[in-house]
Structure 1
């Protein structure tokens, strides 16, 4: 028992060390577009293939994969200002609902048609429709996804989001679109919050403001989407007799943090600026540590065949989503 405790802390330290290394690599030319999350998953994946899974550190690594991941999602709620969404982004909520429904339904339908792995396809659909890694991490336990499926999905979303955000920057000068409309297009269609900022920031402050508002309207819909998945899984469980779907209580923390950010911290300007910067960095660190822990579960031989079709499907879904949002923006 005494030996288990040091191994637990060593496991957490192991994920933290690779996270720090990932942040360093993410500052290098080329990797700045990829970001620390995708870099972390790549490093964890490479480690697993070369050295295998570090079983002696399993308890600490699993703590990072489960507990720290949920803590990151709770803190992610501080990125959502509900008051701003309600006061300025209500028209965007309907469009966001269309985007999320389209991404998930297209992923589901195409997975059925092409006989792709349904769990991976649904995780990718959720990540594309809502907010990337945070959405995938929130939905994964509800649909009982494996850790390796979660990690692979996050990696694919990070890759596609980076490619699409760079593509947006390239095509923007050739499109008949003003800065505000471009910001809304980016915010409603790109995968991660970081991808939205990457694509919209060069178009100016107004473009970035509308892009982030559009993205926040999608993040706002994460909680109701999770309840839809809970309802669906429990209905499925009642028909098939599968194990009961546990309620993801960390969503309550997400809601509380969102309310705190919206109606409390916003009124304490001197506290909120420094505090929010610290919390934003902490959230990213915790999420990166969790992605490393999940990435260590990826077995290349097992995943190569399963991931190829979902990747092709979500690439097609992302293209269709970009075109659709450009039309309805």
Structure 2
């Protein structure tokens, strides 16, 4: 193998290892009281952003870092499909699926509308709308290549979703004893209105096991709808491209979505029934998936320049916060109907 090839592979391995190091530190930080509410993903990406501002981008490791932010990101999305049990959704969650669809439609349209009124960055607003409506960082990561979002916008969106979602989940948990809702109603409300799976679990756990189970079911219904939403965005991007001056519609198909669907089918109908697979093994797989996703997000975080964030992120953040509040109100009203 030529020497140049060896050097290139070394850069790739070292760059991946660099993102892994940040992910490990993020996990360690997440054990600290207070930071544990935010989670390892947000801790790692914030750490990466801080590193970039102080030391600059590590150019020597760019190839490996980009490998993490692109290829490992897609691998994490594929593995994320194992968390989606399709059979449970079809058996018990069809009603919640319809409500989840309403939550997604409301979140995306309102966030984009408000961002337009605020003259905000439209791509970042769309990412935040999808993250709010579907499943936080994973949804942003899945949609980002479809709408050809900048890596900086993707990283900012993930950071905002993680932080705002954590705040909302804590608010939910604080309000729970004072709301005129049964435990099951509270679980459904949390599952339909909060951002990440982790946020739903954080908010619903104090209400008991039944509330947590129905909350996660409601949330998984929204995760299930990520796939049709991605296809809608593909057609939308093609339509937009077809109206450009050159008349061409070049939208790369996100093949990793097929992997996501395949893993969902395997997790739902193969593992545990046809192929023995324990809960411990599933838990370990989930842990690995989160670690890979965290490492990929570190790669994105290293692309963030805070000089641009001030002018770019404040208006989309405001749009997302308003949308999140109104989504909680709307879903609360739907639950008590």
Q: What TM-score does the superposition give when structure 2 sets the normalisation length? A: 0.96
Whether 1:86 and 2:90 are equivalent positions in the alignment is yes
State the distance in 2 between where 1:294 and 1:228 align.
25
- Aligned residue among 132, 138, 143 for 1:134: 138
Question: What's the CA shift for 1:274?
Answer: 2.8
The number of aligned residues is 329
- Aligned residue among 266, 272, 283 for 2:272: 266
Whether 1:319 and 2:325 are equivalent positions in the alignment is yes
Question: What's the CA shift for 1:266?
Answer: 3.5
Structure 1 residues 297-317: Cα deviation after superposition (integer angstroms, max 9, x where no partner): 000111210101000110000
Kept in 1, the 8 Å contact 2:103–2:327? The answer is yes
State the distance in 1 between where 2:196 and 2:90 align.
21
Structure 1 residues 217-242: Cα deviation after superposition (integer angstroms, max 9, x where no partner): 00000000000000000011111136
Whether 1:65 and 2:77 are equivalent positions in the alignment is no
Q: Secondary structure at the match of 1:297?
A: coil
- Aligned residue among 87, 112, 116 for 1:112: 116
Whether 1:20 and 2:24 are equivalent positions in the alignment is yes
Kept in 1, the 8 Å contact 2:239–2:249? The answer is no
State the distance in 2 between where 1:111 and 1:266 align.
45
- Runs (4 or more) in structure 1 with deviation over 4 Å come to none
Whether 1:257 and 2:243 are equivalent positions in the alignment is no
Q: Give 2:179's aligned residue.
A: 175
Question: What's the CA shift for 1:275?
Answer: 2.2
State the distance in 1 between where 2:41 and 2:228 align.
26
Q: Give 1:282's aligned residue.
A: 288
State the distance in 1 between where 2:147 and 2:38 align.
28
RMSD: 1.0
State the distance in 2 between where 1:135 and 1:89 align.
20
Question: What's the CA shift for 1:325?
Answer: 0.3
Q: What TM-score does the superposition give when structure 1 sets the normalisation length? A: 0.98
State the distance in 2 between where 1:191 and 1:87 align.
24
Q: Give 1:234's aligned residue.
A: 238
> What 5-or-longer segments of structure 1 have no aligned partner?
none
Whether 1:5 and 2:5 are equivalent positions in the alignment is no
- Aligned residue among 101, 107, 110 for 1:103: 107
